[in-house]
Amino acid sequence: MTYTEDVTIRGNLYRYEVEGYRDPKTRKVRHRRKYLGRVEVATDGSKRLVPKRSRDPTVEEILPFGDLALLFDTAEKLDVAGTIDRLAPRPGTTPTGAAVLLLAINHLVGRVALDDVAEWYDQSMLRQWIGKDPELFTEERLFSVLDSICHREEHWMWDKSWFISDALRRKAEELWGPESRYVYYDRTQILYHGEQCYYADFSYAAGEPEERRKIGMGVVIRRGDGFPVMYRVYRGNQVDVTTVEEVKERLKAAGLERLIVVMDRGMSSGENIDELVKAGYDVVVGVASREEVFGQLMNELTDDEIERAENRLRRGDRVFCLVERVLTVKGQRRKYVVYQDPRVRGEEKATLLRALEVCEERLQDLQREMKEPTSGRSRRPDWSARAQEIVGGLRRYLSWKIEGDWLNWSTKDEAIREGMSHLARGVLMSTSVEIPKEELLRAYLDKDEVEKVWRVGKGTLGLTGVKHTKRDRVVSYLLVCYVAYLLWVALRRRLREAQVKLSPEKAMMRMRRIEVVRFQVGGKETYGIPRPVSQEARMHEKFGLARLLPIPLTGGRAPRQ
């Protein structure tokens, strides 16, 4: 027989299910009690049963955590959202700092379209950390945020992106200090996928079948850690050499003085160098082969002179030989450094000589073919086109002429000597004659750091194209890309300090395995993470990411599913 019974305990009423049964040994009647829940008594005397809650945990959702936590924690150290809100406040609407930070993190780990950002945000731990309603990050509201950072009013462009990027640069220097006096400047072109934009111009690049609309972007980074000092947006077909003047003015406006600016030879016009020197900067550039001083130094220095033991410098697994000269050019004293890699130089010389030998052998075969009888052929072969195809890229070293059925050719010995003198050699110019030649070469070769900006931008950040049509919105969008790259570089710095030998990409990929489980236990909501293993556990502990959990679970274990 089974019945229910209400029992009062400490003033509260509880209901039990009572089942009677007979004990098989004693043959006496006993009772089993099963707790059903608490009983609530209304003012009219009616009773309502509140069923007991299960003590077994139930999983509500699983949220991404590890990679987002790494980036958000890094952004907090740089005070990204707070800095942007101070410089571009939007009271009563979508906060500028949170929106830009959300878009920057999305560039690194989310890669969802703008109209899907709100849903992606809602289904991640970012909602817990940022603490804003997802409705604030709809596509329309995000566009309004971009427009508030940079917008045009008649003949004026109100651009806050410059002040934001400069403030973030200053914050990074407060945390980690300036690494070096050297900065690198470089620019690239980004494809434009829209129909029309002020910055988008048709431009042609090697390896592309046709001209395409592109937007120009330049960046200055500092040597050693790659922190971005500044970025600028240019028209797609603007010549590199014409962008240096604005870079100089921006460096002065940022209060960055007594720097050594390292640039590619494509930007090293005499006027640019003179203007930078007048502004208090030193310059290190590569010297183009068309310049007179380049040919002068090539002809003056022999391999024996350059490759002396005292001129050798080891860099990794390579050995460079370098010789310096201080010359007065147009009334200015400049230091020039000629450098070469003896191993590569020898290989390239052998390759050139072998290519010339093969070319002459093929020309001899063509000469024999020309002497063969032409009867039975449908038409006379185009011997000139055949010879031109054989010579190909070696035409500067060979001269040839067809007279009737006879092919004459000869090598240009002077051109060969000049060409071989340039192989695996380069010339650097420094406006400071005090910098040692070894330091100049190391600084110039380290400029690969600025090339990494574009590799990361067009790879990890997904900066493969721009779709915005408004001129001001393009500037704001590239600020988002700047913030994303700043987070990437800052994370790389933190990984090095923590002695974690992983790139930011690999670290984020590994940490992506760590997820947060939101579950219910006894009617209460809590969060937990599965216990990370191996390197993930070390990074989780080193960076203290458990503090980003709203309600940490003792033991760090997720419930069984």
Q: What is residue 553's predicted lDDT score, i.e. its pLDDT?
A: 39
Residues 71, 128 share a domain: yes
Report pLDDT digits (tens) over 389-433.
898 888 889 888 888 778 888 889 888 888 888 888 889 999 999
> Any idea which of 9-13, 73-77, 348-352, 489-493 has the lowest mean pLDDT?
9-13
pLDDT, one tens digit per residue, over 203-240 is 655 555 566 788 888 889 888 888 888 888 888 888 88
Q: What pLDDT score was predicted for residue 491?
A: 92
Q: What number is the average pLDDT over the span 381-385?
A: 83
Query: Which of 97-101, 169-173, 225-229 tops mean pLDDT?
Result: 97-101
Q: What is the pLDDT of residue 436?
A: 93
Q: Are residues 411 and 358 in the same domain?
A: yes
Q: Give the pLDDT band (50/70/90) at residue 155.
A: low
pLDDT at 540: 76
Last residue of a domain, one of 363, 397, 422: 422
Phi and psi angles of residue 487, each rounded to the nearest 5 degrees, phi first: -65, -40
**46 and 11: one domain?**
yes
- Statement: residue 54 has pLDDT above 70: no
Res 554 pLDDT > 50 = no
One domain, residues 143 and 87: yes
Average of per-residue pLDDT values in the chain = 83
Last residue in a domain, options 463, 492, 509: 509
16 and 43 share one domain: yes
* 71 and 147 together in one domain: yes
Report the alpha-carbon distance of residue 367 to residue 377 in Å, rounded: 17
The bridge status of strand 29-41 relative to strand 47-51 is antiparallel
Query: Is the domain of 96 the same as that of 132?
Result: yes
Task: Let me know whether 68 and 151 are in one domain.
Answer: yes
pLDDT at res. 381: 76
Mean per-residue pLDDT for 268-284? 87
Evaluate whether residue 225 is within a structural domain: no
Amino acid at 271: E
Residues 133 and 69 in one domain: yes
Residue 351 lies in a domain: yes
* Residue percentage of the chain with pLDDT more than 70: 90
Instruction: Give yes or no for residue 560 having a pLDDT over 80.
Output: no
Confidence check: pLDDT of 529 > 80: no
- Position 354 in a domain: yes
pLDDT at 383: 83
In a domain, 555, yes or no: no
Cα distance between residue 408 and residue 498, in whole Å: 68
User: The domain containing residue 129 runs over which residues?
Assistant: 63-158+473-509
Enumerate the β-bridge partners of residue 403: 406
Which sign does the torsion angle of CA 267, 273, 278, 283 carry? positive
Q: Are residues 92 and 46 in the same domain?
A: no
203-233 per-residue burial string, b: 16 or more CB within 10 A, e: under 16:
beeeeeeeebbbbbbbbbbbbebbbbbbbbb
Q: Which amino acid is at 44?
A: D
Same domain, 105 and 149: yes
Whether residue 144 lies inside any domain: the answer is yes
Residue 556 has pLDDT above 50, yes or no: no
Average pLDDT over residues 159-163: 88
Q: Which two tokens stand for residue 314?
A: 């080891």
Q: pLDDT band at residue 561, thresholds of 50, 70 and 90?
A: very low
Q: Please count the structural domains in the chain.
A: 3
Lowest mean pLDDT among 381-395, 403-417, 487-501, 517-531: 517-531
Tally the residues of the chain.
561
Place of tokens 């002429």: 401
196 within some domain: no
DSSP SS3 for 101: helix
